[in-house]
Structure 1
Amino acid sequence: MEQINSYLGKEEVPLFAPTSDEKTMALLAHILTLAAGFIAPLIIYLIKKDESTFITAHAKESLNFQITLFIVFIILFITVIGILLMWIVGILALVLIIVATIKASEGKLYKYPLNIRLIK
């Protein structure tokens, strides 16, 4: 598999080209986190994990990113200076979610940078 690295994460070309429906579900796993947090990728993962490896990969990556963000926000909230930095993390998260959504719509696998991968 071909990998392309950048500071905005890693993208990989999947072994099999995903269908239009798979691309749509994968991009929903990312973009719906803006409204529903970790619930959206969790539901998509649970429903589609046995049907599509492309959707499963995106849903797991999105879910892991949301869990990582939650941990980071808790740590920042505990510290006084961290409260001031929360907006920077929020903007960075928004940019990364948009990048992941674009990669999913292009039919590529995407890995967030600095992501704790608890769900494998």
Structure 2
Amino acid sequence: MERIIENPDERTWGMLCHLSALAGAVIPFGNIIGPIIVYSTKRAEFDFVEDQGKESLNFQITMTIALVVSAILIVVAVGLLLLAVVGLYTLIYTVIGSVKASQGEFYRYPVTYRFIK
């Protein structure tokens, strides 16, 4: 059975690891900078934040690479569709990760390369 985190502070900071990625909508590379800030400030205090911070960072790095590739493919016309699909996919799974973390669940994003182990 999967472990559930009971500490509300730990759950909140774990959720912020995921939600902080939405800063990318306002700040260039904010989707990576936000989780790095939360992860680096609270990882020593909470194991859950360390785990979810790594997970969020890995997902955001993977999606940033996918967005860059999609942007390059705009010259072939398929890039516009890919940009929309990757952007929507990123938004949906970031929200799902946030909700799961707020419930104290250890969430794993699908289709994510684990850069940070």
Same fold, TM exceeding 0.5? Answer: yes
Mapped contact 1:18–1:54 kept (Cα < 8 A)? no
1:34 corresponds to which of 3, 8, 22: 22
For residue 9 of structure 2, what is the amino acid of its counterpart? Answer: D
> Do structure 1's residue 47 and structure 2's residue 41 form an aligned pair?
yes
Partner secondary structure for residue 114 of structure 2: coil
Gaps of 5+ in 1: 3-12
Partner secondary structure for residue 107 of structure 2: strand
Task: Tell me the distance in 1 between the aligned counterparts of 2:5 and 2:80.
Answer: 43
What's the offset of the Cα at 1:17? 2.9
Mapped contact 2:5–2:11 kept (Cα < 8 A)? no
For residue 83 of structure 1, what is the amino acid of its counterpart? Answer: L
Task: Tell me the distance in 1 between the aligned counterparts of 2:43 and 2:79.
Answer: 36
Gaps of 5+ in 2: 24-29
What's the offset of the Cα at 1:83? 2.6
Map 1:61-72; keep pairs closer than 5 Å: 61-72=55-66
Partner secondary structure for residue 104 of structure 1: helix
Corresponding residue of 2:9: 21
Corresponding residue of 1:112: 109
Equivalences, count: 108
For residue 22 of structure 1, what is the amino acid of its counterpart? Answer: E
Q: Identity of paired residues, percent?
A: 39
- The two structures, once aligned, show a CA RMSD in angstroms of 1.3
Partner secondary structure for residue 93 of structure 1: helix
Partner secondary structure for residue 111 of structure 1: coil
What's the offset of the Cα at 1:59? 0.7
Corresponding residue of 1:58: 52
Corresponding residue of 2:85: 88
Structure with greater proportional strand content: 1
Task: Tell me the distance in 2 between the aligned counterparts of 1:31 and 1:47.
Answer: 15
For residue 75 of structure 1, what is the amino acid of its counterpart? Answer: V
